[in-house]
Amino acid sequence: MTQLIQAKEGIITEEMREVAINEKVEAEVIREGVAEGRIVIPANINRKDREYMGIGSGLRTKVNASMGASLDYPDMECEKEKLQAALDAGADAIMDLSTGGDIDQIRKNTLEIANVPVGTVPIYQAGIKSIDKYGSVVEMEPEDIFNEIEKQAKAGVDFMAIHCGMTLEVLARLKNEGRFTDVVSRGGGFLTGWMLHHQKENPLYTQYDRVLEIAKKYDVTLSLGDGIRPGAVVDSLDRAQVQGLLISGELVQRARKAGVQAMVEGPGHVPLHHIETTIQVQKELCHNAPFFVLGMLVTDVAAGYDHIVAAIGGAKSTWAGADFVCYVTPAEHLGLPNTEDIKRGVIAARIATHAGDIAKYGERISKSDLKMTQARVKEDWQTEAKLAINQEKVLAKKKLNEETEIRIMNDKAEPMKIVAEYL
Amino acid sequence: MTQLIQAKEGIITEEMREVAINEKVEAEVIREGVAEGRIVIPANINRKDREYMGIGSGLRTKVNASMGASLDYPDMECEKEKLQAALDAGADAIMDLSTGGDIDQIRKNTLEIANVPVGTVPIYQAGIKSIDKYGSVVEMEPEDIFNEIEKQAKAGVDFMAIHCGMTLEVLARLKNEGRFTDVVSRGGGFLTGWMLHHQKENPLYTQYDRVLEIAKKYDVTLSLGDGIRPGAVVDSLDRAQVQGLLISGELVQRARKAGVQAMVEGPGHVPLHHIETTIQVQKELCHNAPFFVLGMLVTDVAAGYDHIVAAIGGAKSTWAGADFVCYVTPAEHLGLPNTEDIKRGVIAARIATHAGDIAKYGERISKSDLKMTQARVKEDWQTEAKLAINQEKVLAKKKLNEETEIRIMNDKAEPMKIVAEYL
């Protein structure tokens, strides 16, 4: 019994209750949202001792941190450190995208250590295994993919990015319009290569019912992968991208009918003035399925600072209706993120979603800003630190100021003080 | 003869020509914009050997970096370093806000070293002198302020933040509505203290014609200071703030009539959903005077990361019509910025204005993004570095990748490669 099936039957589950408490709304609001598919609660039935979190309309916008070992960096301890850094920085969910090292063990560690929902992209491991087994990703057998999905579902993964909507129809539109960046999604690339090599339709599309069956069995929330997302702002909102969304919308409806929770992934590289349209089109075409965006990245010229680029896009997309934002680290477009990059990425994304949520929800969210303001007026550093998105910086600076006996401003020239004497 | 007077007379000046070349528009477009007051070219007649830069509608949005010595940090060499860091990072203008050390000499250095427009806030030095002379800011004589303005104008300062619109009427509205943060502008605070202490109107308002006279003589561009800007998102768009804008609008008209170039300063702390309104109200009330915003800061809870907070607000405000964006450094709300903070602040603001300009101007601006995309597809690191907002990061990472013989992704699993074989 998935959360969706229970919600449709009018049952308020323990998971829904926990989400309702965290969001400070009535449990019935959550049940209704889940029943209508506007809210998902990624909660694999095989995963115990963890916290539940809801994603969707009316809820605080959540931040995902993706990480994972690779062939070049297979170290497991390093992955644990990165995971801990993301959790400490306040990530609401973790995606393990490992493509190297002992992938099964790393996933197991992540599921054990993290108290938040954990997601994966099963085709990554299927692809890597295929390289080992057949020498190439494109020789992968459809059975390999389904086996991998089932194995990871059984292991307790809460949500999975699966690129079921990456079809020959989408590729035809990509080809006939042309695009600067072709396919930048890794999962999308694996499947595109496979489809073109075999001249066959994407098995995750033709056998979507099998995907639904597995997802239903373990209550895995589908994150319908945006395999065709543009890789540059100049490619935003082209026909291939919108074709992909059309198909995702159809897949969302089928998932809901099957009792499977589903959200939809979106770009990626989107100029600021395309964000609202991108989200509105998705929400309409996919019947208000929760939207999981990557970034969004509003310019391509700031390699090394893409966490800032994504903060701009993340705030605007949160405001426009994105429900779940994947962080971007300063290492994006340059290499793999280290622990510090991950921390910075999570904090930047949390700033973005908070700023966007103030615009989306108003005073319900800006209460923490009001408390901070009151603490600032009182010069109450301790409260300021407690309320800060990362208190380290506030405390470090306070310590430095105290040590050097330096005040932020000279008292006699401090405007708030001068005015306070009179007002 | 100010740029404005010449523009009104149909004269295209050398300065206008230089601005037109940089902006890739016809010189007549610039002349017309200056004549109508929609564009300013801060260009003090006493300052030579420098570059000219335009601020206003239709032009690339510019970034200002403020810095300055203080009583606690009076070191002149340190100021030179900070200035150089800001210029190297690509600041379009510098404001010297020194309130400590040898202020005259620091300003002289700034005017000599910087090739970009330089601004000041004369009341800072007047206030500091007043503390020395009378023991308090509020004992300042109006003559002290005018002398300071004239002295700095003569020295070659291109634009000055002067809080002529901070009036008793504004204070009455502040008092009758109430506000969490009262007055956070330093210049605004000095004048508020002065007005309340003497129970007299702001001399910069009552003797505004004297301000105009000096500005006209040296072609100093007035930056009408936003002394009443809110200090927290919860205070945004209150009656005091809008009252201040009404008065600024009247002062803009008087400046234009007097042949003085003028822009208007704005907040500050503005939630994302107030930005468009804030800018539209300013543009209407002030007859499309260029808008110089501080940030904008879209949340108060991210001390230590306010450059990111300001990047979110800076991008949105640029898109909504801001013409000039003052950077915010990671040290904001914590202490004084060091050289590294200044660099980070400038880069974050440049990312923000670029992202906003893509939305504001479309393909004219996103050409650099297209070039970057083409370089990425070709894996042409050198071009990528050249196009990057800060090439250091790209080159450092490239070097690291080469040294460790690590590629960003394993070739066999690289989606673009797989797809490229077939498409």
Q: Is B420 on the interface with A (CB under 8 A)?
A: yes
Selected residue of B181, B274, B351, B368 to mutate for chain A interface (largest A Cβ count, 10 A): B351
Q: List, in sequence order, every beta strand (DSSP E) within A100-257.
A: 118-120, 159-162, 221-224
Name every chain A residue with its beta carbon within 8 A of the beta carbon of B305.
347-348, 351, 389-390, 393
Q: How many CB atoms lie within 10 A of CB A389?
A: 24
User: Who wins on pLDDT, B182 or A326?
Assistant: A326
Question: pLDDT averaged over consecutive 10-residue blocks of chain A (423 residues)?
Answer: 97 98 97 98 94 97 96 88 97 96 95 97 94 90 97 98 96 93 90 93 98 98 94 95 96 98 97 97 97 97 96 98 98 91 98 97 89 91 91 80 54 65 68
DSSP A64-78: EEEE---SS---HHH
Letter string b/e over residues A20-54, b meaning 16 or more CB atoms within 10 A of that residue's CB: beebebebebbbbbbbbbbbbbbbbeebeebebbb
Interchain proximity B302–A351, CB inside 8 Å: yes
What's the whole-number mean pLDDT along residues B291-309? 96
DSSP letter for A25, please: S
Q: How far is B389 from chain A (nearest CA, A)?
A: 5
- Report whether B130 contacts B136 (CB < 8 A): yes
Task: Decide if pLDDT at B209 tops 70.
Answer: yes
Element containing residue A266 per DSSP (H, E) = strand A262-266
The predicted-structure confidence for B381-411, as pLDDT tens digits, reads as follows 889 999 999 988 888 877 766 666 544 444 5
Task: Please check whether residue B161 is in contact with residue B265, taking contact to mean a CB–CB distance below 8 angstroms.
Answer: yes
Write out the H or E segment, with its range, that includes residue A298: none
What pLDDT does residue B409 have? 44
Q: What 3-state class would DSSP assign to A104? A: helix
What pLDDT score does A410 carry? Answer: 47
Q: Is residue B164 within 8 Å of B228, Cβ to Cβ?
A: no
Residue B222 confidence (pLDDT) above 90: yes
Amino acid sitting at position A324:
F
Distance of residue B110 Cα from the nearest chain A Cα, in angstroms:
22
pLDDT band at B145 (very low <50, low <70, confident <90, very high): very high
- Surface of B (333-362) touching A: CB under 8 A: 333-336, 347-348, 351-352, 354-356, 358-359
* Partner-chain contact A335 B397, CB within 8 Å: yes
Sign (positive/negative) of CA torsion A183, A187, A188, A191?
positive
The pLDDT score that the predictor gives to residue A72 is: 80
**Over residues B214-231, mean pLDDT:** 95
* Three-state secondary structure string covering chain B: CCHHHHHHCCCCCHHHHHHHHHHCCCHHHHHHHHHHCCEECCCCCCCCCCCCCCEECCCCCEEEEEECCCCCCCCHHHHHHHHHHHHHHCCCEEEECCCCCCHHHHHHHHHHHCCCCEEECHHHHHHHHHHHHHCCHHHCCHHHHHHHHHHHHHHCCCEEEECCCCCHHHHHHHHHHCCCCCCCCHHHHHHHHHHHHHCCCCHHHHCHHHHHHHHHHHCCEEEECCCCCCCCHHHCCCHHHHHHHHHHHHHHHHHHHCCCCEEEEECCECCHHHHHHHHHHHHHHCCCCCEEEECCECCCCCCCCHHHHHHHHHHHHHHHCCCEEECCCCCCCCCCCCHHHHHHHHHHHHHHHHHHHHHHHCHHHHHHHHHHHHHHHCCCHHHHHHHCCCHHHHHHHHHHHHHCCCCCCCHHHCHHHHHHHHC
Residue B325 bridge partners (DSSP): B63, B293
Cis bond upstream, residue B266 (ω within 30):
no
Q: Using an 8 Å CB-CB cutoff, list chain B residues near A193.
A: 415, 418-419, 421-422
CA–CA gap between residue B79 and residue B84 (Å, rounded): 9
Give how far Cα B373 sits from Cα of A234, A235, A298, A328, A381, Å.
8, 10, 13, 18, 45
Report DSSP state, residue A61. Answer: P
- B274-287 residue pLDDT tens: 999 999 999 999 99
CA–CA separation, B404 vs A356, rounded Å?
Answer: 40
SS3 state of residue A302:
coil
Residue of B nearest to A370 (CA): B234
Of A358, A407, A414, the CB nearest to B272: A358
Annotated domain spans of chain A: 59-361, 366-422
In this structure, CATH architecture of domain A59-361: Alpha-Beta Barrel (3.20)
CA of residue B211 relative to chain centroid, distance: 21
CB contact under 8 A, A232 and B190: no
Helical (H) or strand (E) element with A229: none
Query: So what's the pLDDT on residue B412?
Result: 58
Average pLDDT for residues B153-179, to the nearest whole number? 96
pLDDT-derived band at B346 (thresholds 50, 70, 90) equals very high
For the residues B359-380, what does the mean pLDDT come to?
Answer: 90
Structure tokens at A272: 């600021």
Predicted TM-score (pTM) above 0.80 = yes
